[in-house]
Every structure is written in structure tokens, then in C-alpha cells.
Amino acid sequence: MANWVLSECGLRPLPRIYPKPRTGLTSFNTSNPSKISLSHSDLGCSSFSLSCVPRDRNWALKVSAPLKIQSVDKEGEGRERINGVNGVEDEGEFDPGSPPPFRLADIRAAIPKHCWVKDPWRSMSYVVRDVVVVFALAAVAAYFNNWVVWPLYWFAQGTMFWAFFVLGHDCGHGSFSNNPKLNSVVGHLLHSSILVPYHGWRISHRTHHQNHGHVENDESWHPLSEKIFKTLDNATRMLRFTLPFPLLAYPFYLWGRSPGKSGSHFDPNSDLFVPNERKDVITSTVCWTAMVALLVGLSFVMGPVQLLKLYGIPYWMFVMWLDLVTYLHHHGHEEKLPWYRGKEWNYLRGGLTTLDRDYGWLNNIHHDIGTHVIHHLFPQIPHYHLIEATEAAKPVLGKYYREPEKSAPLPIHLLGILVKSMKRDHYVSDTGDVVYYQTDPQLSRSQKSE
């Protein structure tokens, strides 16, 4: 019976608040659902005298489908299904903050079984493709070395650096392969090459996935409470809400996180990490330092200006892609989306506040990262199955899935969405368990006058 429950994703309620969101969740192997694996942080090694460190480290994010999910069955009893899902017609206005009339298990059951299969050879083929393109672009730009080619190169190479990040991101989730050592090696090579500390980022990103949609516990572009917003000085407000500054935030976030939170992704003693994660953080920080040293050496070989053109400007283009994509997967919908705290939050409801985006020609280049809703709910699905999994899940999700606006070959339309969101999505109320972004009139007026 236990095996059947796991393979069919029969999940029990998840605690509604994470006092310490870093503590790992029980995860299961989708390729062999009969085997349950617990990370050493799952077992609370730091507070037990028993040794519970496994023989082989498992560096996956441990956020595949949580085994404890808030049940909505009882909450849905006696409630009219007004949301127009599962073939039920609308009987009233759709409320995106209401508990959905389906379970995480229902979504999972709709996704074909082969979508969960990870093919390491296929995953590596994407790595080889991207590496070849990166070096070819650099060779072409250096050969022509003129100001007609350089701007085109910066956009193209920055986009490829972003593609590197997405593949490393899959390694961090364990969706790259079932081999944690392969995931770690490839993840370090890809992320270190673009100055991202692999394990430091992987662990904080785990926190984001475990708490998506939670006002206090989410980690990535989470909303500021009104109290914190009002404590920000004018310079900080400008940097956070005035373009292009928010699109340059990622390196600073790695060192100091967001307003209201502290900790560095490079510091093994940061409160981002638990003690048994410190060695991993040190490893990634050393790899990051080695990449910095390599860049310094290259600046002496080819000159700092040439290095800036070949690597420095594409790096900042990558940063802009990362901030743009991450922000727009959680903000900017025409109808404001809820954020939760307290008893109203659960893994499913938080995940349903994420958004898919269409990037036109770039969808394949950056590995379909725009198919974000299913990725958030089931991050163990490989990126090359996300589109099929999303199409299969749509009938279950109903109006809780927001169809993305179709893009032109280049996703220029997303810039307008970003600008609009930055002008209106400033903070959420300090009180209430279901809250929506509010606009600061003074900041909005100052943005319009610029």
C-alpha cells in the first residue's frame, strides 16, 4: 500500500508555515517510486547524536513533489465550484485566491509517465550544444572585432550565458539526471563559468521552491511588507523599482539577499545554510574564486578592454535576463495574483501564483524556462518535457493556469509588462493571510515624472 500511495502521489498535508524553510522535505525518486530517500537535513542531523549522513551525498534540491501537501478536499466540501475547471462552468467571478478544487495528485496523474524520465545523454547534448555556441560566438566576434558585430554578440552571448544558468539550474533540481555526482560536476562547471556559486544558489533556490508564494518565507523576488517598504531610503527604493536597476540586482543579491533578509551565498556560516551544508558552500565558493582568478589572468593576456567586450558585457546581459525572467514569472499579470501567509498558504496554492511566459525564438535557446508553473509544482521534470506536461495539466488547472501572451520572434512585449509592474507592484499589507500588491502613490508619481 505504501508503494501505491507514493507512486500515485497520495500526499499528506504539508505544514502551513515554515518557521525555518531550509529544513529539507522528504523526496521520492520518480524513476523508482518505491524507494524513499531522506536528506541528512530531513533527519535533523544537527540536533541528533545519531549519524544520519548517507554514504553518497544527494545534491538534488529535495523539492520534488512534497509528501505533505495541504488537503483541499475538506475545505472544498459544500463549496460551489465557481472556478470553471474540470468541465464545470463558471457560476460566479473567478477568485484566484480561493483554494483550488483539485489536488496536487490530480495534476500529477494527468501528466504522462514518460515526462518524469531523465535522460542524462539528452541533457548532456544540450550542454555540448551550448558550449559550442558560446565559443563559436566569441571566436566570430574576436575575428571581426568591429562595432557592428559587438552589440549583436553581446545580446547573443549574454543569452547563451543565461542558457548555461538554466542547465545548471536543472542540475540543482536533480532534473538533469538521476546521478547526483554528475549533476554537481556539470552544475559547478556551468554556474562557476558565469560567476554563480552553485551550491550556495542551489540551497537558497530550494527555499524559494519550498515556499513559493509565501510573503515572508519565499526567497526570490518576494514582496516587501508595507512596514519594510516604508523603512527603505529613497536610494534603495529607486534601485529596486526604477529600471534598469532592478535588472542588475542579482550579483548584489548573492552577496546580501533582499531587503529585510541577511546572509551571503558565499559565506558557509550564513543563516541561509545549516551546518551540514557548509562544506558544499565552501566548495562552490572556491570554484567561484577560481573563475575570478582565471578572468584576472585572461585580462593580462588579452587586455582588460577585450575581456570586457568578450565576457564582461555578456555577463551583465545574462544578469538582466535572469532578473527579468525570474521577476516576470511571479509578477506582472493583468489581474493581480495573491500572496499568502499563515494558514492560507500551502505548496499547491503558492505554486499556482506563478506564471508562464512566452519568449518567441528564445524558448528553445533557454530551454523552455518560460513553462514555469509545472516546473514550480514538479521541479524534477526535465526541461525538455515541460511543454508536454503543461499541456496535459491544463484541463485540471482550468482558470488557475494563465495562458501566456504569445510573443513575437523576440519577446519585446515583456518589457512593457515589466515597466507596468514596477510602477504598481510595490508592497503588500502587513496584515492578512491572502494579500495582493499595492501601489505607493508617491513612488508611482515619481516614476511617471522620470
Mean confidence (pLDDT) of the chain: 83
Angle (deg, nearest 10), helices 278-302 and 198-210: 130
Residue 305 counted as domain residue = yes
Flag whether 319 is in a domain.
yes
Instruction: Tell me how far apart the alpha carbons of residues 232 and 441 are, in angstroms, rounded to a whole number.
Output: 15
Q: Is residue 269 part of a domain?
A: yes
Mean pLDDT of 180-193: 98
Residue 56: alpha-carbon gap to chain centroid = 26
In this structure, is residue 55 part of a structural domain?
no
- Output the pLDDT for position 450: 58
Q: pLDDT above 70 covers what percent of the chain? A: 79
Question: Distance between CA atoms of 37 and 29, rounded to whole angstroms?
Answer: 7
Per DSSP, the chain holds a count of helices (H) and strands (E) of: 19, 4
Q: Which of 147, 257, 138 is nearest to 204 (CA)?
A: 257
Distances in Å between the alpha carbon of 51 and those of 45, 48, 162, 230, 269?
7, 8, 39, 46, 21
**Inside any domain, residue 70:** no
User: 391 lies in which domain range?
Assistant: 118-449
Residue 34 lies in a domain: no
Which residues are CB-neighbours of 214 under 8 A, at least 6 positions away? Answer: 18, 222, 339, 340, 341, 345, 350
CA atoms within 13 A on the CB side of 441: 0
Domain for residue 16, yes or no?
A: no
Per-residue pLDDT band for 91 (boundaries 50, 70, 90) equals low
Exposure string of 355-393, with b = 16+ CB inside 10 Å and e = fewer, is bbbbbbebbebbbbbbbbbbbbbbbbbbbbbbbbbbebb
**Number of folded domains that form the chain:** 1
CB atoms within 10 A of CB 31: 11
Q: What is residue 449's predicted lDDT score, i.e. its pLDDT?
A: 62
> Which residue did the predictor score with more confidence, 39 or 336?
336
**Residue 28's beta-bridge partner residues?**
36
C-alpha 57/C-alpha 235 separation (Å) is: 43
Res 51 pLDDT > 70: no
- Answer yes or no: is pLDDT of 27 > 50: no
Helix spans in 355-430 (H): 362-365, 372-377, 386-397, 413-424
**Preceding amide of 441 cis, omega within 30:** no
Number of Cα atoms under 13 Å in the Cβ half of residue 396: 19
272 in a domain, yes or no?
Answer: yes
DSSP assignment letter at 37: E
Decide if pLDDT at 64 tops 60.
Answer: no
Q: Which of 365, 347, 368 is nearest to 356 (CA)?
A: 368
**pLDDT at residue 258, as a whole number:** 80
Asked whether the predicted pLDDT for residue 49 surpasses 60, the reply is no
Closest of 27, 66, 430 to residue 230, by C-alpha: 430
pLDDT at 61 over 70: no
